């Protein structure tokens, strides 16, 4: 019987020896990249636009994954925003007839236009983000590994704190810290010159 009549996993993958870390278990990065792909598959059910991964968060590796395990990635859209989609991914390992929940996490994808600017999920194809002008319609671009999508609340996302892995947020965080550094240096200079004046 086809179980997919009720619910389908986003993807299923067999783990090979090439996916192992030095201790012989499956490398976490392999599982992360498959979570990204599975979430991207789920995101495509929400929008026809191309999507990119903005954040992966709260990924928990509950149990080790072994060579030969068949991993099933269940992906559910749990939230949509204006341009973003949040997907919860649960990973199960099939090992010698047993089904073991091994990993879970969330990915946030953002729909983008041809120039990689965020665009409303339900806007027609060919719409541009930013200035809101419309260009010639384009065919949907498949979501690929490492170029995926999902959502998260704006306030939370901007702080970047909630994201375990947050490529996009990291730049913003760096900008903030360099501003802090500059003001610290200014304070130091001021303090030194006051000290000299006293002398
Ligand atoms: C995704 C990207 C286009 C968002 O750009 P941005 O200028 O931050 O966009 P906005 O501030 O308008 O936010 C757009 C949406 O993303 C969400 N978002 C932005 N940063 C986020 C973060 N760190 N975590 C979670 N959500 C985030 C916002 O909440 C908003 O959602 P909403 O429209 O549903 O409310 C940009 O960060 C980017 O291009 N990142 C690189 C993506 C990429 O290449 N991924 C592949 C892996 S490296």
Distance 74 CA to ligand 1 centre (A): 23
How far away, in angstroms, is 110 Cα from ligand 1 center? Answer: 6
* pTM score of the predicted model: 0.72
For the chain, domain boundaries: 3-165, 172-199
Which tokens hold the place of 58?
């709260």
pLDDT in tens, the chain (199 residues): 445 656 889 999 999 999 999 999 999 999 999 999 999 999 999 999 999 999 999 999 999 999 999 999 999 999 999 999 999 999 999 999 999 999 999 999 999 999 999 999 999 887 777 655 444 444 434 444 444 433 333 333 333 334 433 333 334 444 444 455 555 555 555 555 555 555 4
Position in ligand 1 atom list of the atom nearest CA 154: 29
Instruction: State if residue 152 touches ligand 1 by the CB under 6 angstroms criterion.
Output: yes
Atom of ligand 1 nearest to the CA of 84: 34
Determine whether the shortest distance from the Cβ of 56 to ligand 1 is under 6 A. no
CA atoms of 71 and 188, how far apart (whole Å) = 55
| Structural fold of domain 3-165 | Thiol Ester Dehydrase; Chain A (3.10.129)
Token reading at 54: 């903005």
Give residue 92's Cα distance to chain centre: 19
- d(CA 141, CA 124) in angstroms, rounded, equals 14
């Amino acid at each position: 019987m086809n179980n997919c009549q009720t619910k389908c996993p986003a993807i299923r993958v067999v783990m090979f020896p090439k996916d192992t870390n030095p201790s012989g278990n499956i490398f976490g990065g392999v599982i992360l990249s498959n979570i990204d792909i599975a979430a991207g598959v789920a995101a495509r059910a929400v929008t026809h636009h191309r999507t990119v991964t903005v954040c992966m968060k709260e990924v928990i590796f509950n149990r080790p994954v072994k060579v030969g395990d068949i991993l099933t990635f269940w992906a559910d859209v749990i939230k949509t925003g204006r341009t973003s989609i949040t997907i919860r991914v649960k990973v199960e390992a099939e090992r010698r007839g047993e089904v073991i929940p091994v990993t879970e996490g969330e990915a946030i994808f953002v729909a983008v236009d041809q120039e990689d600017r965020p665009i409303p999920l339900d806007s027609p194809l060919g719409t541009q983000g930013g200035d809101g002008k419309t260009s010639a319609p384009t065919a949907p671009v498949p979501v690929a590994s490492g170029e995926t999508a999902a959502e998260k609340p704006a306030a939370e996302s901007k702080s970047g704190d909630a994201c375990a892995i947050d490529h996009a947020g990291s730049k913003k965080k760096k900008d903030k810290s360099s501003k802090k550094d500059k003001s610290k240096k200014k304070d130091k200079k001021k303090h030194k010159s006051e000290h000299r004046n006293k002398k």
